[in-house]
Structure 1
Amino acid sequence: MTRVIPDHPTPTGTAESALLDLELSDPPTRNDAWLVTAALQHHPLLPDTPPRDPFAEDRPDPLPGSAGEHLLQCAFGTEKRARKFYQDQVLDHLNRQMKEFIGRMEMAFVATSDARGDCDASLRAGPPGFVEVLDDRHLCYPEYRGNGVLASLGNISENPHVGILLVDFVTDLIGLHVNGKARIVEDADLRAIHPALPTGFDRGRTPERWVVVRVEEAYIHCRKHIPRMVPVLRQRSWGTDDVKRKGGDYFGAKGTPRPWHQPEPVGSPER
């Protein structure tokens, strides 16, 4: 049986097709991949100590990105494309189009790491505009009562660097990266500085605190591999501690042995 793939409307975003060449290239063949790997293994720019940025002395103003990515650009031969992307697409602030984009997003993927570099990626979601743009160089998002682990906030308390990815899966099929340094601010303290923060929240939740991010890099994520999705109504019952209604032990982790697991004594009451 022939599989029929339904037609979808062409994305209506303003990104030019040439932008795809800035971020993505044709995948290497098996032989090409081997040559790249071999080149990296013996590349003279690879020291035993932390990598030296090959572009550090090349220009008076530092390029965006890390010494590691600049090093690999040299090893992979992508310096020209990377510099064009830095030049054309990477800002150190939010422009008007970025602010508008953030204002209609309903999801954000947040990446953090602790002082040792151990990473965590988390999803934040809410109604359009739940990520608030404070000005050209600052945005914030609310933190609500959750499972009490506070993994992202714990990382931020040790290491302020955060990476945020916002994606339009529905209309324009485009994404926005925002990287910067974050700090944790209590709700009342932030409202004292920004009284225009919203007072009505999704499902009646009230933020306990906010994560305020000072923007250092903002740039496009091209649409080539972003899937199109269709939003549906979410009718779920919340405001409960019933684990089954919240998803329960979906992945079957409860009771599985691990180093930090403390089994409950036999006959202990249900919580």
Structure 2
Amino acid sequence: MGSHDSVDDHRIQTAEQLRVLVGEPLPRVRDKVRTTLHELDRDWIAASPFCVVSTSDSEGRCDSSPKGDPPGFVKVLDDTTLAVPERKGNKRVDGYLNVLENPHVGLIFLVPGRGDTLRVNGRARLVADAPWFDEMEVKGHRPVLALVVDVEEVFFHCAKAFMRSRLWHPSTWDPMAVGSRPEIAKALERPEDSVEELEKYYGEQYSTGLY
């Protein structure tokens, strides 16, 4: 019997089975979802330099993409609308291709050092330009495009995952526990390049070419 067979013996297939294991949320947890942005949500987004955007295509294949810029890079257009700027990158645009098929998106906003996070779910569309693109300029560069999100759900998420992982504790950090970016690129993405060439590519010039 394979390992997958033993796992399937314990597969959860219904909401009732799931609830037996995890229980019911407290009313204050169940009812904390809001449909418009509160002033505290706006403050959090203004302080956040990083968010993760999750999407799926029409067949449910998923993608999660990190987005980062100076704090406040995501613009609050009004109480129910956000805009996430896109900068130049690797041109895969997996998440944006998903949005063209399925507009439903989920975002998680992080503030460095904080364990709680802000979650926003909604429907998204892509725009090539807007009057407020000028306000999203960084180092003289306007966004390539923007993801406009119509907010459907917004709520704060507790800090337990960050507390368990000790994510913000420098004493737990070990960035060299895995291969370096040049080593990973050499093994999986750019085998024709030497490690020396990749170290140069991912060195100082990489950070100076962000915009």
TM (norm. structure 2) is: 0.70
CA distance in 1, matches of 2:111, 2:70: 14
Query: Alignment RMSD, CA only?
Result: 2.7
Partner in structure 2 of residue 161 of structure 1: 104
Partner in structure 1 of residue 42 of structure 2: 99
Contact 1:73 1:82 in 2 (8 A): no
Q: Judging changes above 3 Å, is the alpha-carbon distance between structure 1 residues 166 and 255 closer, same or farther for their aligned structure 2 residues?
A: closer
* Structure with greater Cα Rg: 1
Contact 1:144 1:208 in 2 (8 A): yes
Per-residue deviation, residues 227-253 of structure 1 (Å, max 9, x unmatched): 3257xxxxxxxxxxxxxxxx5573421
CA distance in 1, matches of 2:70, 2:169: 17
CA distance in 2, matches of 1:104, 1:72: 40
Partner in structure 2 of residue 137 of structure 1: 80
Q: Give runs of aligned pairs for residues 20-59 of structure 1, distance below 5 A.
A: 37=10, 40=12, 46=14
Q: Judging changes above 3 Å, is the alpha-carbon distance between structure 1 residues 148 and 248 closer, same or farther for their aligned structure 2 residues?
A: farther
Contact 1:94 1:218 in 2 (8 A): yes
Partner in structure 2 of residue 85 of structure 1: 29
1:200 matches 2:137: yes
TM (norm. structure 1) is: 0.55
Q: Judging changes above 3 Å, is the alpha-carbon distance between structure 1 residues 154 and 249 closer, same or farther for their aligned structure 2 residues?
A: farther
CA distance in 2, matches of 1:200, 1:77: 45
Find the partner of 2:119 among 165, 172, 177: 177
Q: Judging changes above 3 Å, is the alpha-carbon distance between structure 1 residues 90 and 73 closer, same or farther for their aligned structure 2 residues?
A: farther
Q: Judging changes above 3 Å, is the alpha-carbon distance between structure 1 residues 196 and 186 closer, same or farther for their aligned structure 2 residues?
A: closer
Q: Judging changes above 3 Å, is the alpha-carbon distance between structure 1 residues 215 and 75 closer, same or farther for their aligned structure 2 residues?
A: same
Superposed displacement of residue 178, structure 1: 0.5
1:110 matches 2:53: yes
SS state at 1:142 partner: strand
Superposed displacement of residue 124, structure 1: 0.3
- Which protein has the bigger helix share? 2
1:214 matches 2:150: yes
Contact 2:105 2:121 in 1 (8 A): yes
Partner in structure 2 of residue 250 of structure 1: 184
Q: Judging changes above 3 Å, is the alpha-carbon distance between structure 1 residues 151 and 82 closer, same or farther for their aligned structure 2 residues?
A: farther
Find the partner of 1:149 among 66, 89, 92: 92
CA distance in 1, matches of 2:21, 2:152: 26
Contact 2:85 2:136 in 1 (8 A): no
Superposed displacement of residue 186, structure 1: 1.1
Q: How many residues align?
A: 169
Q: Judging changes above 3 Å, is the alpha-carbon distance between structure 1 residues 75 and 197 closer, same or farther for their aligned structure 2 residues?
A: farther
Contact 1:160 1:183 in 2 (8 A): yes
CA distance in 1, matches of 2:18, 2:78: 33
CA distance in 2, matches of 1:173, 1:185: 32
SS state at 1:123 partner: strand
Contact 1:166 1:176 in 2 (8 A): yes
Superposed displacement of residue 146, structure 1: 1.5
- Which protein has the bigger strand share? 2
**Which runs of structure 1 show a deviation greater than 6 angstroms over 4 or more consecutive aligned residues?**
none
SS state at 1:149 partner: coil
CA distance in 1, matches of 2:90, 2:83: 21
Contact 1:169 1:229 in 2 (8 A): no
Partner in structure 1 of residue 175 of structure 2: none
